[in-house]
Structure 1
Amino acid sequence: MSKATLVTIRAVRTEQAGVAVYAFFLPGSKVLEIADISRLERTKEGLEGFQRDAIQKHIAGMVDYLNSGPVLFPNAILLALSPRASFTRSRGPTPEGLIPSGDAGVLKLPIAKDGSKCAWIVDGQQRSTALARATDSTLPVPVIAFVSDDLQTHREQFILVNKARPLPKRMVDELLPEIDARRLPADMATRQIPSALVERLDADPESPFHGLIRRTSSNKDPGRIVTDSALVRMLQKQINNPLGALASFRSLDGGSTDPTAMYAQVLSFWNAVKNAFPEAWGLPPEQSRLLHSAGITALGALMDYLSPRVVQRSNAGKSYAGVLEAIAPYCAWNSGRWIDMDCDWNQIESTAKDIRLLSDQLIRLSQLHNLRHMA
């Protein structure tokens, strides 16, 4: 076999349950040169492969991240290797005190003349595809490979690797403000500002939410009655929706986004909410729907509606307060009924229908207030 038909790399070899396992690095673009993606499909012969279809949006996000500059990408790709791969142990003395966990050497991966490959991707097909499309084809990525050409073993390992749950979204959101946005993929960078605003709302003694927000790290504190995910979702919409209350503070042309101005607006609105509904503020969702996820989302929609009508942003708090205090007698956060919705206060749930009806109710009340004010 000529050298042109071999991919030769340095590797470390060990064994698990009598199966050879290798650890090595490959330039990102080389992964798909040596490894196939075994797609799951059903044919006349039965079930073939095991990999799901590629998620193009996910891949595009990783490509953008890889092309953003020097990046850290240490996530290992898991391969199943054909037994045709060969390993030669390196010679030389063993350093004193070395933990005997594996042997260093040279791994040779044959590529057949017909183009058939010597490995199959068990975990990391999206990453491998993104690496193949990235501008820097030389980025070295870690690979773990076990020797087996048995499809059943490939499927078993695929299921075991993917059995573990991904990180909870709330946990990721809580961690995001601690990370430099320049080092994040675009989709995660857009989640960072809302989460940072929520973090500040909880930590700021001047915030009405001070000490009330329940994050992953503070789930056991009974005094924290506001779920952070409801606030993060509301703020994301206000920032990313062109008609959102905070959209005007977001840069669309490479300029600077102004989270400080965003926070000032959020603070002015929610302080007005707290002052307008003092008897319903600070109560858990089972006692009040004001800080229930449905209430937070609906009030966020009201802020979106009112924001363009605030003439001077420096005086936003007074404008918000005027509307909220006027509609307060018609709201049923912790007792009574929503008359137009024909339901008791505790019948409001976090469903799309209830949130839409509650949002429309609050906006309609504010419109009636404006008409009375103009009369």
Structure 2
Amino acid sequence: MADHMLRLPALEVRQGSRRIYCFAVDGKRLHEFAAVSRIRRDSEDHLQGYQRPEVANHIRAIQRYLESENPMLPNALVLAFDSRVRFEPLAPSVGVNYSVSGELVVPIDETLEDDQKPAWVVDGQQRSAAIREADISEFPVAAVGFIADEAEQRAQFILVNNTKPLPKGLIHELLPDTNGKLPPAYARRQLPAVLMTRLNGTFQGPFYRAIATPTSPDGYIKDNSILKMIEHSLYEGALYQYRDPADGAGDVDQMLLHLNTYWGLVRDAFPEAWAQPPRLSRLTHGVGIQAMGFIMDYLTEDLSPKDIGAAVNEGLKRIEQGAAWTGGTWNFGGGEARKWNSLQNTPNDVRLLTNGLLRLVNQEILF
């Protein structure tokens, strides 16, 4: 039950079938009904929130400015409301048919935890934090709000921050739980991001908690390396068979089974190299992940997950004969040899290692 209702003069603006609300509010009161929803995973590994952590130095700089003489923050904060917030029109529009004046009615309940409040800060996290901490009695700010569920809020957060240096890892983790139209580059990565998230959360799977993401900070395999490997396989490799090229959808469970089966065999074939971070192992390095991804496509294209073992194990035995994941030298034939840790995550080195692995796969077993 709300303690009371905060009524904010507002302008409802219609954009097609959608509504946004322009209003002003004392920034010191934002915390009463709005929270910064920081990204995390719950006990069932479901994504919660979508914001990046606060940047303390930036907040302190804004705070000092707010405490100076005649500060001004002209840019509007962006807030996402849930269905508990409503708009009440007060007067019909005059002269235009796309805006109506009225009041936003926001429930205030000071007993609620942050994740239960009716509003989230989509853009303006650090400004709102600086206002909260500043030694000032009030500071009215302009704001724009919209009413939506959390999946759409994530989409808006990505779009609002599309031209800012938003960490790619944060975007990659948000994409699987995001609805709405996204920029083409993000839309192409949405299904790979779904698969990466599921791989990272598959208990006892080869990638379980091994992929570094905002909610898996102890992971040691770069998320971008996994995404590149999956994306290539989806469009040109072994995972293509599970995809509908017309709409881009696919059988995620079969894709996940295919990936976990193959990479589980890789982990079991090279346990020491798999357990090491990229600086100590080229198997978990971007160059190794991508090259072994190409080997997955070569060995398992058009195979079902149940047939992968027979096709892959022999190839992995052949790779073992010449592998230099954690030490020694790769001999690529034609007189070309490279020290194990000289291989870098570049297109040329990925191509070089892939071709070297293919030579090993196709050679005769020597034992």
TM bin, normalised by shorter chain, reads 0.5 to 0.7
1:305 maps to a residue whose letter is Y
- TM-superposed CA distance for 1:263, in Å, is 0.8
Equivalence for 1:191: 189
Counterpart position of 1:54: none
Counterpart among 346, 349, 352 of residue 344 in structure 2: 349
Secondary structure, aligned partner of 1:263: helix
Q: Are residues 107 and 298 of structure 1, via their aligned partners in 2, closer, same or farther at CA, if it must alter by over 3 Å?
A: farther
Which residue in 2 is equivalent to 1:207?
205
In the aligned structure 2, how far is the partner of 1:306 from the partner of 1:276? Answer: 15
Whether the 8 Å contact between 1:297 and 1:355 is mirrored in structure 2 is: yes
Q: Quick one: which of 226, 229, 242 aligns to 1:249?
A: 242
2-structure distance, mates of 1:309, 1:257: 15
Q: 1:186 to 1:279 in 2, by over 3 A?
A: same
8 Å CA contact 2:199, 2:205 repeated in 1: yes
Equivalent in the alignment of 1:92: none
Structure 2 residue identity aligned to 1:286: R
Alignment-mate amino acid for residue 303 of structure 1:
M
CA offsets 1:200-240 (integer angstroms, 9 cap, x no match): 21111231111211102333x3xx21111110111011102
How much does 1:342 deviate? 0.7
Give the share of equivalent positions with the same residue, in percent: 33
Q: Determine the structure 2 residue equivalent to 1:261.
A: 254
Structure-2 change in CA distance of 1:255 and 1:176 (3 Å): closer
Distance 1:186 1:263 in 2: 25
State how far apart, in whole Å, the 1-side matches of 2:258 and 2:14 are.
Answer: 49
User: What is the count of residue pairs matched by the alignment?
Assistant: 221
3-state SS of 2:362 partner: helix
Distance 1:368 1:177, change over 3 A: same
Residue range with higher mean Cα deviation, 231-240 or 318-327: 318-327
Aligned partner of 1:176: which letter? L
Aligned to 1:358: 353
Task: Kindly indicate whether the alpha-carbon contact (under 8 Å) linking 1:245 and 1:304 is maintained by their aligned counterparts in 2.
Answer: yes
Please state how far the C-alpha of 1:351 moved relative to its aligned partner: 1.3
Structure 2 counterpart SS, 1:177: helix
Paired residue for 2:24? none
Partner of 2:231: 236
Deviations 1:295-329 (A, max 9, x none): 1011111111112374x541212321221122212
How far apart, in 1, do the equivalents of 2:273 and 2:15 lie?
Answer: 59
1:339 aligns with 2:339: no
- Distance in 1 (CA, whole Å) between partners of 2:207 and 2:310 is 19
CA contact (8 A) 1:212 1:282 kept: no
Larger radius of gyration: 1
- The answer on 1:324 being equivalent to 2:316 is yes
Q: Deviations over 1:111-136 (max 9, x none)?
A: xxxxxxxxxxxxxxxxxxxxxxxxxx
CA distance in structure 1 between the aligned counterparts of 2:205 and 2:226, rounded to whole angstroms: 14
Q: Quick one: structure 1 residues 162 and 173, their matched pair in 2 at CA, closer, same or farther if it must change by over 3 Å? A: closer
Partners in 2 of 1:163 and 1:325 — Cα distance? Answer: 45
CA 1:260/1:186 → structure 2, altered by over 3 Å: closer, same or farther? farther
Per-residue deviation at 1:252? 2.1
Which of 270, 277, 287 aligns to 1:284? It is 277
Cα distance change, pair 327–255 in 1 and its aligned pair in 2 (3 A): closer
Structure 1 pair 106–253 and aligned structure 2 pair: CA distance change class (3 A): closer
Distance 1:226 1:105 in 2: 57
User: 2:224 and 2:239 mapped to 1: Cα distance?
Assistant: 18
Partner deviation per Cα, 1:242-297 (whole Å, 9 max, x = no partner):
xx110010012459621111111111110111111122111011111110011101
Q: Does 1:314 align with 2:306?
A: yes
Contact 1:250 1:258 in 2 (8 A): yes
Q: Aligned partner of 2:164: which letter? A: R
Map 1:114-125 to 2 at 5 A.
none
Task: Compute the TM-score of the two structures, normalised by the length of structure 2.
Answer: 0.53
In 2: Cα distance, 1:236 partner to 1:331 partner: 25
Aligned pair in 2 of structure 1 residues 206, 163: CA closer, same or farther (>3 Å)? closer
Secondary structure of residue in 2 paired with 1:291:
coil
User: SS state of the match for residue 338, structure 1?
Assistant: strand
- Cα distance per residue 1:149-189 (max 9 Å; x no partner): xxxxxxxxxxxx99972422221110112234xx3448344
- What are structure 2's unaligned runs of at least 5 residues? 1-8, 17-90, 97-142, 145-159
In the alignment, is residue 177 of structure 1 matched against residue 176 of structure 2?
Answer: yes
CA distance change for structure 1 residues 331 and 190 in 2, over 3 Å: closer, same or farther?
same
Q: Secondary structure at the match of 1:350?
A: coil
Q: Deviations over 1:7-42 (max 9, x none)?
A: xxxxx89xxxxxxxxx773656xxxxxxxxxxxxxx
Q: Which runs of 4+ in 1 moved over 4 A?
A: 104-109, 161-164
User: Any unmatched runs of 5+ in structure 1?
Assistant: 1-11, 14-22, 29-103, 110-142, 145-160
SS at match of 2:13: strand
Q: 1:270 aligns with which of 241, 250, 263?
A: 263
- How far residue 333 of structure 1 moved from its aligned partner, in angstroms, is 0.4
State whether residues 225 and 282 of structure 1, in contact with CA within 8 Å, keep that contact through their aligned partners in structure 2: no
